[in-house]
Amino acid sequence: METEREVVFTVHLKAGDRQCVLALPASDEGLANAKNTLDITEFWEMEVVSLECGIPCLKDSLPTDCGSAVEADKLALEIEGMMQTDGSVKRYAAALQMEKVSSFHEALEIAYRMNGDAQEMWQGEELTTPEFIKIHEVDYDPQDMTIGGIR
């Protein structure tokens, strides 16, 4: 039996004159139901009308200008991963506020960095700032200039 997932986002979608509501992260069944309800074959055919965040500590820090349901689902999966570690979602909320995130895409990039997809995302000097080290709880070794093993 599949365990019930916590709803990170509720998105209101439309395609043409059809509309539906989808909880994210979505199961394969939920995504298939949304496509059937909207009478579409590809996810790029649907438009996000609105997005609501179901995680209280993120409601005020997370932009809701989501460009696509696919992007929203990716971020929901990243946040779901953070929820497996105590305090990670609150650190993510702090990072969003500190970096003054203004777009949903920027919020997704920060989530990728925090969940370990950082090697491609992190840029030189910002790695060694005290704020970055504190928020991301990385191990900084000034002797060999590495961040958690990433050079």
pLDDT string in tens for the chain (151-residue length): 456 789 999 999 999 999 999 999 998 899 999 999 999 998 778 899 999 999 999 998 898 888 788 889 999 999 999 998 888 999 999 999 999 998 988 999 999 988 875 443 444 434 444 444 444 444 444 444 444 444 3
Phi then psi dihedrals of residue 51, to 5 deg: -135, 135
pLDDT given at position 82 = 92
> 43-47 long-range contacts, Cβ below 8 Å, gap at least 24?
43/68, 43/69, 43/70, 44/68, 44/70, 45/15, 46/13, 46/14, 46/15, 47/13, 47/14, 47/15
Q: Which residues contact 130 (CB under 8 A, 6 or more apart)?
A: none
pLDDT given at position 117 = 59
| Distance (Å, whole) CA 126 – CA 124 | 6
Is the whole-model pTM more than 0.75? no
pLDDT given at position 55 = 94
